[in-house]
């Protein structure tokens, strides 16, 4: 018999969230499905959005080639661009669009010959100081691209460093810097947080990521308030129950001690499955329809939950760790991380079950 831990993936919710991105601004939207679709399955995400997405965005050429080999025919943008000359040839062969963020990438391109021109997006460093060319270098980079018969400059892009924060001063400053230039091609600026703020007037292509999976990127705004629906529901079941008298401790290190006669439920899930090891006591877990608190330390294969106030709970009762009943953003915040990491760290031993 297999362990009961599993991830249910509701693709109708992915499509719903993508439509919200499109409806907020009416612009084109490249669905960001890098990192194996934020842990949801990259190819499955692409298949689910195949009839709706204007294009897809991934991190690297390898991810893009996997999508092409799986039969995905929409435009695919590689956000990190080519990392070596051979990847330029792959981009031409597989009709991939590449971000250019450094002069070295153009030097690599000059070292190879390919048959079909490659569409490129020039990435500008507007304040994040991660990838991108500076404004002062942009005219030369644009000229080099446009003078290369093997390249087609499709868009100018940038990435916001703080569009998710309640204080929008940095976000507004980055927008102003990008909109204050006369660019020769349309802009692509908005990530999920910017999309939910209404996008940027004058841009052409959005790049929604985390919002597609049903998590809110906005500080102080829940996914439900943003109209988003969770795509992934992480489930398991109780595999044991027992009582612990007041004064006794539960789990490694005895970090949690019962203050009353406590009924304890043991759930088959742990950090070996991707549940956050640093989730503290009190983290919500839904057991048999009742919100119950995590108690004790998270183990590799199990967690313990106070089910005293869920009298119907018994061995085999269903447990939700996050999804429809438990907001993953709340779990992530209590564990000192973000939902992106929780989605991406879900391990292969948790089977994914695809729903409509």
Name the residue among 37, 22, 35 with its Cα closest to residue 213.
37
Alpha-carbon distance of 274 to 39, in angstroms, equals: 11
Name the residue among 168, 151, 140, 160 with its Cα closest to residue 206.
160
Helix (H) or strand (E) holding 349, with range, is none
Q: Which residues are catalytic?
A: 34, 252
Q: How far is CA 181 from CA 29, 76, 121, 185, 198, in A?
A: 23, 26, 16, 11, 21
Please, which residues have CB within 8 angstroms of residue 143's CB and are 6 or more apart in sequence? none
The DSSP secondary-structure symbol of 203 reads B
Alpha-carbon distance of 287 to 284, in angstroms, equals: 10
Beta strand 6-10 with 28-32 is: unpaired
In contact, 332 and 216? CB cutoff 8 Å: no
Alpha-carbon distance of 209 to 221, in angstroms, equals: 16
Structural tokens at position 192: 């999920």
Q: How far is CA 321 from CA 146, 272, 326, in A?
A: 51, 14, 7
Angle of helix 85-94 relative to helix 103-110, nearest 10 degrees, comes to 80
For the chain, give the number of residues.
Answer: 356
Beta strand 118-123 with 97-100 is: parallel
């Amino acid at each position: 018999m297999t362990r009961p831990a599993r991830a249910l993936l509701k693709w109708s919710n992915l499509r719903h969230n993508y439509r919200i991105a499109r409806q907020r601004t009416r612009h084109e939207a490249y669905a960001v499905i890098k990192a194996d679709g934020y842990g949801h399955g990259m190819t499955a995400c692409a298949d689910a959005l195949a009839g709706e997405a204007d294009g897809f965005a991934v991190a690297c050429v390898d991810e893009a080639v996997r999508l092409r080999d799986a039969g995905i025919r929409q435009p695919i943008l590689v956000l990190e661009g080519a990392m070596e000359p051979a990847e330029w040839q792959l981009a031409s062969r597989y009709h991939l669009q590449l971000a250019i963020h450094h002069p070295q990438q153009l030097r690599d391109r000059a070292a190879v010959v390919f048959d079909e021109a490659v569409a490129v997006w020039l990435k500008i460093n507007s304040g994040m100081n991660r990838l991108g060319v500076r404004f002062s270098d942009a005219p030369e980079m644009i000229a080099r691209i446009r003078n290369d018969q093997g390249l087609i400059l499709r868009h100018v892009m940038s990435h916001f460093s703080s569009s998710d924060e309640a204080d929008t001063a940095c976000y507004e400053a980055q927008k102003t810097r990008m909109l204050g230039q006369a660019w020769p091609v349309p802009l692509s600026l908005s990530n999920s947080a910017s999309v939910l703020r209404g996008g940027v007037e004058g841009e052409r292509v959005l790049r929604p990521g985390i919002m597609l999976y049903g998590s809110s990127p906005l500080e102080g705004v829940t996914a439900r308030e943003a109209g988003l629906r969770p795509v992934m529901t992480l489930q398991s079941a109780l595999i044991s129950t027992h009582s612990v008298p007041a004064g006794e401790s539960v789990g490694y290190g005895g970090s949690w001690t019962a203050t009353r006669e406590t009924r304890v439920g043991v759930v088959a899930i742990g950090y070996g499955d991707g549940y956050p090891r640093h989730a503290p006591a009190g983290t919500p877990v839904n057991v048999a329809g009742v919100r119950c608190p995590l108690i004790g330390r998270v183990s590799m294969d199990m967690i313990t939950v106070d089910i005293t106030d869920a009298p119907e709970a018994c061995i085999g009762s269903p447990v939700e760790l996050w999804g429809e009943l438990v907001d993953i953003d709340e779990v992530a915040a209590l564990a000192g991380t973000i939902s992106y990491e929780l989605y991406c760290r879900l391990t292969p031993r948790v089977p994914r079950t695809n729903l409509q």
